[in-house]
Amino acid sequence: MLPEFCTTPRLVLAAPQGRSGKTTVTLALVAALRARGLAVQPFKKGPDFIDPGWLGRAAGRSCRNLDAFFFPRETLLRVFARGARGADVAVVEGAMGLFDGVDLEGSGSTAEIAKTIRSPVVLVVNATRMTRSAAAMVLGFKAFDPELELGGVILNHVARPRHERMLREAIKRFCHLPVLGVFPKCALAAIPDRHLGLVPVGEEEREAEIMGALQELGEKYLDVEGLLALARRAEPLTVAFSSTPPPAGKRARLGVFRDRAFTFYYPENLEELEAAGAELRLVNALEDELPPVDGLYIGGGFPEIFAAGLEANEGLRRRVREAAEAGMPIYAECGGLMYLSRSLIFRGHRYAMAGVFPFDVAFGDRPSGHGYMRLRALGGNPFFPAGERLLGHEFHHSRPLDLSPSTLFGFAVERGYGINGAFDGAIYRSTLAAYCHLHALAAPGWAPALVAKAREFRERGSVS
């Protein structure tokens, strides 16, 4: 293991609870810092694809996820240090409330992330209908964990100058903390919502307008110099990296669906596939034919929104079905599972999909599965040995219909819902399609196994 010192200035933006405005505040800060010519590395706490898409676009660098449920401490530090290389400052957006984790100890919380990377925290407070009480709230968060450095406050939804003055004076007098930003009520640019959160960045037609507005708001309402000074107080980190030789032999060609319908990919998943010996070939499922490949990776996204376009590309759907029949290794997550189904039923319409699996997928008004997952691999799983335990997450409103009793599954669900509450990962030949999203660094055998299967398929004669 080779030690590396990470001295990148850093901040964690957290909140007392969700819906406090921390995503838009974080975006405004990232945009304002970038406008000053700084290289900004964004991070998002926890499993998420949509917020990181916006943060990455604001920074001009791929956003990385920091997740203490998925990663042991040393892995989390490596994810942070690797992402922060070459950056002038790192900005981490928290999730939920600052101390909210998976148990009463706060395991996996934003606070745990901040302490692991030794970062000061700025608390984003929704000040609606509060004055002096805001100081009591902030003081409670400051005292709750003495090991955490709460370095300042950003106020959101401030009604008028008198409201701001009372809030500032109360926090200064009772909390002894600086107010590092004040956003007037309704000032933050609204990014449209969808059933899983914000609309992904690539779909929003007003993206450039929103980004410009966020930059202006950040410059106008944030104490950017004060926030930078706080970030520079972060202590250096010592991180151990292993040196892995590049794989020998010819690289396997791996198709990756990447377009407006399929956007949910962790950067590390693609990087680990390349490190394992894959040559990635991006496929637009709305327009492209299937290129010569030895395997497929179909991530998540919103195929239901683009179902008509996916249906219209009949040639790709047919070729994917033929590839699965021929034994090509295919790994699919959530949206990918929907694509591999027989049909997708959404808002009263039925759309033909690839038909690898003999079931349809329908949508409900409430999530079928939402949160972290624990899985145990079953026999016959194409990519994981029987008995291996895996951590992942799910967030889906859809569910398969008319599952056959003979359906083969790759995972037993120990926490979560998956396909039917007991199992996840439908199997057909060398195809595995699950609702669970895996992070490659939390499942280190996944990328090498998928690439190895692709190499084996290539030796037998790939689809071209």
Catalytic residues: 334
- 150 forms beta bridges with 121
